[in-house]
Structure 1
Amino acid sequence: MVLLTADLIAKSISRFKKKRGLSHPEYLKTITHLHFSNKNIQDIGDISLCRNLTVLYLYDNQITKICNLGFAFNLTHLYMQNNDITRMENLSSLQMLSKLYLGGNRITVVEGLEQLTELKELHLENQRLAPGEKLLFDPSTLLALAKSLCVLNINRNNIDYIRDLAALKELRLFIATDNRLQSPEELEDVLSHWPQLLQMDLRGNPVCKLSKYRDRLITACRSLEILDGREINELTRQFLINWKASKEAKMRRSNIRMLTGPLMPHT
């Protein structure tokens, strides 16, 4: 088993340490970026000497648990995609974290992020879920991220319901390709709560095959600039908005006539 420790880090960067004439502990304190991707690491040991760490690359390993990062108060970027992590835990101390990459793990519930009020990007694509499972979201975590999260990537996670995500009012980029979203009404409702959204990709969902799918989403979200990889023409959007308004006005007039009955001529 390969354990990430201060000694392992020191050995990997010994030539830099000698070049600067620093002792082992002194040099570890100066490190801001650590690159330990694809090193067969299975666990994170005590690396607390790296107290000024801001970016940590641990993707493409065999890590099963997020642990021993409580010291990393300055960490802003954490890359742990393509490991064997099953739970989002022990992250509450990382209050400066801006970008979190956990795609390609075995996570079933998005949770444990209540203290991460600076988090801007969350990448959770392609979890290796058991048959019949789908990625779920803890409401308290969504509420905590409501004012900060700008990018959410949840591709390929068997998701069929996103109404709870309406809480994320600052989203600019939403990526949810190859899921099981089916309801255009649900999407329209959620989009009405995302006034900042600029780009969305839902390709590979059943809803994309429905008639007028694209038209409906373009009119539901006035800020949207790119949908499913295609730019939205502003003239097209205005035409669709006007067409929808005209259709709704006709329906209202028709309903009024049905309620009041035909007008009788004056005698």
Structure 2
Amino acid sequence: MVRLTVHLISKSSNYSKACRSESLQQYLKKLTHLNFSNKSIEDIDDLSMCRNLTVLYLYDNQISQICNLGFASNLTHLYMQNNNISCIENLSSLHKLSKLFLGGNIITVVEGLDELKSLKELHVEGQKLPRGEKLIFDPRSISRLSETLCILNISKNNIDEIWDLAPLQKLTHLYATDNQLQDIKELETVFSQWSQLRLLDLNNNPVCVKPKYRDRLITACKILEDLDGKQINELSRQFLINWKASKDAKKKLDDGKDIKEQISNPLTTDFHVGPQQPFAHDRSSSRTKPSEYGKPGVTFRTDQVQGDSRGRRSRGIYIPVRTGRL
């Protein structure tokens, strides 16, 4: 097993150049950058003498656990991508950490970031997940990161929704390529809340082939400058914004007309009113007065009307109905 120790640091070429003028202890106290990438390291030993360390490169190794970094209160950049890390842990003392690179590990849950009050960049792309699983996000960590995080890389993690990321309203860059995102309405809703988003890369997601995909996202993201590697022309953006505003206004007007018609004609919304059939007419209950001088004849309804021998009405009314041609 290869461990990152003070002894291993003393064998580095950088210390060899400085050893003539200072001791190892002095060298370690002054050390700000430490690069042990691609050294087959499996574990991190006690490095508490490196109290001024600000940048640590440990990518392309075989580290399985983040540990023994509690001393590094001045650390701002930590590069641990392409290792065997399965859990994000033991980072609570890194209050100055602004960039964290953990891509290419075997992490299944983004968690353990609650105390990282200065984190601006988080890279967790390409996790080696079990078949059929996706990367998920702990709400507590996302809530805390919402105050600081600007750049997020979650590409190649089988992610099919981003509702959990909605609180990250200070994001300026999102890299989410090669996932399973497909709900355009969900993306519009979430991205419209990220008022500072300037770069968005969703290449190789199912949503990219949806109708009006690019137009809809440009409209939702008011200051977006780059979508899927293509710059956004300001004139085109303004045209799309105006087009959407016009479309929404027309829809609102049409909806208002529909509601007004429903109020004015309530029966037409609930019943099918077919053509009215004429009422049956009993010829025996009517008599027709012949037309005179070419005038149309007049039919008098005498339903429920009885007359005496002199032709006077005893009850009912006469209803004149014109017949014939004019």
TM-score range, shorter chain: over 0.9
Residue 184 of structure 2 corresponds to 184
SS in 1 for 2:208: helix
The one-letter code sitting in structure 2 at the alignment partner of 1:258 is D
> In 2, Cα distance between the equivalents of 1:248 and 1:199?
26
Residue 77 of structure 1 corresponds to 77
Residue 96 of structure 2 corresponds to 96
The one-letter code sitting in structure 1 at the alignment partner of 2:126 is N
Are the counterparts in 1 of residues 109 and 135 from structure 2 also a CA contact under 8 Å?
yes
Residue 18 of structure 1 corresponds to 19
TM-score (normalizing by structure 1) = 0.96
Task: Quote how far apart the aligned CAs of 1:8 are.
Answer: 0.6
Write the mapping of 1:35-184 to structure 2, written as runs, cut at 5 A: 35-184=35-184
Are the counterparts in 1 of residues 67 and 90 from structure 2 also a CA contact under 8 Å?
yes
Residue 216 of structure 2 corresponds to 216
SS in 2 for 1:216: helix
Q: Give aligned-pair identity as a percent.
A: 61
> In 2, Cα distance between the equivalents of 1:98 and 1:251?
46
Task: Quote how far apart the aligned CAs of 1:192 are.
Answer: 1.6
SS in 2 for 1:200: strand
Residue 274 of structure 2 corresponds to none
Are the counterparts in 2 of residues 10 and 28 from structure 1 also a CA contact under 8 Å?
no
> In 1, Cα distance between the equivalents of 2:254 and 2:123?
48
> In 2, Cα distance between the equivalents of 1:9 and 1:64?
20
The alignment yields a C-alpha RMSD, in angstroms, of 1.3
> In 2, Cα distance between the equivalents of 1:215 and 1:11?
57
SS in 1 for 2:19: helix
Task: Quote how far apart the aligned CAs of 1:218 are.
Answer: 0.5
> In 1, Cα distance between the equivalents of 2:57 and 2:230?
32
SS in 2 for 1:261: helix
Residue 193 of structure 1 corresponds to 193
> In 1, Cα distance between the equivalents of 2:142 and 2:251?
38
Q: For residues 73-120 of structure 1, give each alpha carbon's deviation from its aligned partner in whole angstroms, at most 9, with x where no partner exists.
A: 000000000000000000010110010000000000101111111001
SS in 1 for 2:174: strand
Task: Quote how far apart the aligned CAs of 1:168 are.
Answer: 0.7
Q: For residues 30-89 of structure 1, give each alpha carbon's deviation from its aligned partner in whole angstroms, at most 9, with x where no partner exists.
A: 110001000000000111111110000000000000000000000000000000000000
> In 1, Cα distance between the equivalents of 2:108 and 2:250?
47
SS in 2 for 1:167: coil
> In 2, Cα distance between the equivalents of 1:122 and 1:17?
34
Deviates more, 1:114-123 or 1:249-258: 249-258
The one-letter code sitting in structure 2 at the alignment partner of 1:62 is Q
SS in 1 for 2:11: helix
Task: Quote how far apart the aligned CAs of 1:14 are.
Answer: 3.8
The one-letter code sitting in structure 2 at the alignment partner of 1:206 is P
By relative contact order (CA 8 Å, sep 6+), the higher-ranking structure is 1
TM-score (normalizing by structure 2) = 0.79
Residue 203 of structure 1 corresponds to 203
With over 3 angstroms needed to count, the CA separation of the structure-2 counterparts of 1:25 and 1:232, relative to structure 1, is same
Are the counterparts in 1 of residues 127 and 156 from structure 2 also a CA contact under 8 Å?
yes
The one-letter code sitting in structure 2 at the alignment partner of 1:88 is I
Are the counterparts in 2 of residues 160 and 182 from structure 1 also a CA contact under 8 Å?
yes
Structure 2 regions of 5+ residues with no counterpart?
Answer: 266-326
Are the counterparts in 2 of residues 146 and 169 from structure 1 also a CA contact under 8 Å?
yes
Task: Quote how far apart the aligned CAs of 1:260 are.
Answer: 1.5
Are the counterparts in 1 of residues 10 and 16 from structure 2 also a CA contact under 8 Å?
no
Task: Quote how far apart the aligned CAs of 1:240 are.
Answer: 1.0
Deviates more, 1:231-240 or 1:95-104: 231-240
Are the counterparts in 1 of residues 107 and 129 from structure 2 also a CA contact under 8 Å?
yes
Task: Quote how far apart the aligned CAs of 1:16 are.
Answer: 2.5
Are the counterparts in 1 of residues 15 and 27 from structure 2 also a CA contact under 8 Å?
no
> In 1, Cα distance between the equivalents of 2:28 and 2:242?
62
Task: Quote how far apart the aligned CAs of 1:223 are.
Answer: 1.1
Q: State the aligned residue count.
A: 263
Q: Which runs of 4+ in 1 moved over 6 A?
A: none
